[in-house]
């Protein structure tokens, strides 16, 4: 999935660059049309409504490490923020915070696997393949605003 681009052709080019073909990766539970409901979910989300993007994911396209990291991120609730280190620990790799960033870079289905909800331990944004401006916009849509010094508050691991 790509984030909105100025023109449809730009979005299509970005999908091709990502290697996305046809019914790649997303399959909503029980749906014959793999993308049925996605447009409505995206419209709800970008209109400020809570959306959990409850679509099945084909985990087989990821390495075992990527799979573990992305499964943790897939479960981060709407409006919550975890650090790279927290994700690493939850995935079973407590010393792999930096490698988590690389695994997030393999995520091809933004919002379904909400990698924008992962930030640095110091509350700064960290990285994001679609750019930090988009990461901040997505966080704001979910009610997360940067505090003093541009820092966000992490969610607790309970």
Residue spans of the domains in the chain: they are 8-150
Check pLDDT > 80 for residue 30. no
pLDDT band at 8 (very low <50, low <70, confident <90, very high): low
Task: Name which residue leads in pLDDT, 17 or 40.
Answer: 40
Q: What is the pLDDT of residues 63-99, one digit of tens each?
A: 999 999 999 999 999 999 999 999 999 999 999 999 9
What is the reported pLDDT for 20?
47
Give this prediction's pTM. 0.80
What are φ and ψ of residue 113, in 5° steps? Answer: -110, 100
Pairing of strands 82-83, 56-57: unpaired
The b/e string for 104-143 (b: 16+ C-beta within 10 A; e otherwise) is bebbbbbbbbbbbbbbbeebebbbbbbeeeebbebbebbe
Percent of the chain with pLDDT over 70: 77
Tell me which of 3.30.70.100, 1.10.10.10, 1.50.10.10, 3.40.50.620 is the CATH number of domain 8-150. Answer: 1.10.10.10
Q: What is the pLDDT of residues 94-138, one digit of tens each?
A: 999 999 999 999 998 899 999 999 999 999 999 998 899 999 999
Mind telling me the catalytic residues?
Answer: 115
Check pLDDT > 50 for residue 26. no
């Amino acid at each position: 999935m790509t984030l909105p681009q100025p023109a449809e052709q730009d979005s299509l080019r970005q999908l091709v660059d990502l290697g996305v073909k046809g019914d790649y990766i997303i399959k909503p539970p029980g749906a014959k049309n793999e993308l049925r409901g996605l447009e409505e979910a995206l419209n709800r989300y970008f209109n400020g409504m809570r959306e959990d993007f409850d679509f099945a994911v084909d985990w087989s396209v990821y390495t075992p490490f990527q799979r573990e990291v992305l499964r943790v991120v897939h479960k981060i609730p709407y409006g919550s923020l975890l650090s790279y280190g927290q994700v690493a620990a939850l995935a079973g790799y407590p010393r792999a915070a930096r490698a988590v960033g690389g695994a997030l870079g393999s995520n091809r289905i933004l919002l379904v696997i909400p990698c924008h909800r992962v930030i640095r331990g110091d509350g700064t944004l960290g990285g994001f393949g679609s750019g930090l401006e988009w990461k901040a916009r997505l966080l704001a849509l979910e009610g997360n605003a940067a505090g003093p010094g541009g820092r966000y508050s992490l969610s607790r691991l309970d």
